[in-house]
Structure 1
Amino acid sequence: MRLRNKPWAREMLDSHPQHVISSPEQYKGNWKAVFEKEQPLHIEVGTGKGRFITEMAKAHPDINYIGIELYESVIVSALDRLIAADIPNLKLLNVNGEKLTEYFAKGDVSRVYLNFSDPWPKTRHAKRRLTYKSFLKLYEEILVDNGEIHFKTDNQGLFEFSLMSFSEYGLLLKYVSLDLHNSDFEGNIMTEYEEKFSQKGSRIYRCEVQYR
């Protein structure tokens, strides 16, 4: 993905500390201090422009959400959405998803969302995929017991790899769809990529897995 440089992005993120948490490590083990209500916490790793996480937060006010995105020039779009909607149960982190254990303690998070992650199609890059075993271990270290991963992609190869990775790690497969938009699944909230790909006729794959 080619990113447009937005030199003003850093200043904008820094000017909204009520929405973008600048020092998340200080809340490790105490994320309830950040939100108005103490309730389950769901995170999206690679939140992009924020459509999914903002709509989820609006639809489920009984859950707290954090959108995590590495690129400043992308997460500012999520911040725009958050400012416009003024959603009290949503915060943003402009950090690297590979360092989750620096920001979250065991049991802080109830669910991890992975939506349209980079497929890293070359075999030698498999370790970079967000469903690789090292990432699954990372999520396990911050999730509650029996915590879940919800995963969506348009990439068949990544989906097949992920199902195998989940199985080899010992996760319980709770739900799988090989064609989400032609299934009976209710309550789906699309990401920007999902809408774009589905309009082109791409099949959307989705699954839910649980640690045990």
Structure 2
Amino acid sequence: MPTEGDGEIAASSSADSNPVSTSATTGLHPTPIAVVIDANLWHKHLNVDRLAAHAARLQKSGIDVWVPEQVALEWAEHAHEEIQQIAERWKKPEVAGICGPLPGPSSIHDVVATVIEILQSIPNVKVIEMTGAAAIAGIKDQILKTGSGKRENGVKTGASDSSFVRDALAAAGDDPSKVLFVSGNTRDIEAAAAAAGHTHVNSTKESRL
């Protein structure tokens, strides 16, 4: 039973032909109602084409695609960093009169709004709102290094993972059998779910979705 953060299905290894199915011996529901996307896919940047393709295919099986608000915020933050770098290089040709101002959103708040709008425009994709209770629990996990909370390069991290896993589980009625997490780091997903009181959670890497 693989449990490492290599993207293998954490709850069951019996679903090679259909990663949205799980073993009956685990007590987990065989078909989730939703697939939950983690921010660490696609080099931590939103890939609209890939997300839309997954959503369209899963919709045929009656499975929703959920993007937690925390994930959307992380994608927006990474996109904003890229925009800032481009804007810096854009200044000289703009000052020279070669081109006008850099098009598109510039402030982090505008980028967040744009990312949310894009996600909401994709059929079968739902943005799961971040809740205060999950955010508080996530901060506690990060401070105490419980669940997905840990120290990396001297900095405590993990609040976002902890909170988005909790919000996704809450949206599924606190029934982990109803959701499948797609992540590049299933170990953190499992740890966050365990801290929320769930010993079993379904997770997989994108290539097996």
Under a length normalisation based on structure 1, what TM-score does the superposition of the two structures give?
Answer: 0.33
Which has more radius of gyration? Answer: 2
Q: Which gives a bigger RCO, structure 1 or 2 (Cα 8 Å, sep 6+)?
A: 2
Under a length normalisation based on structure 2, what TM-score does the superposition of the two structures give?
Answer: 0.33
Higher helix share: 2
Higher strand share: 1
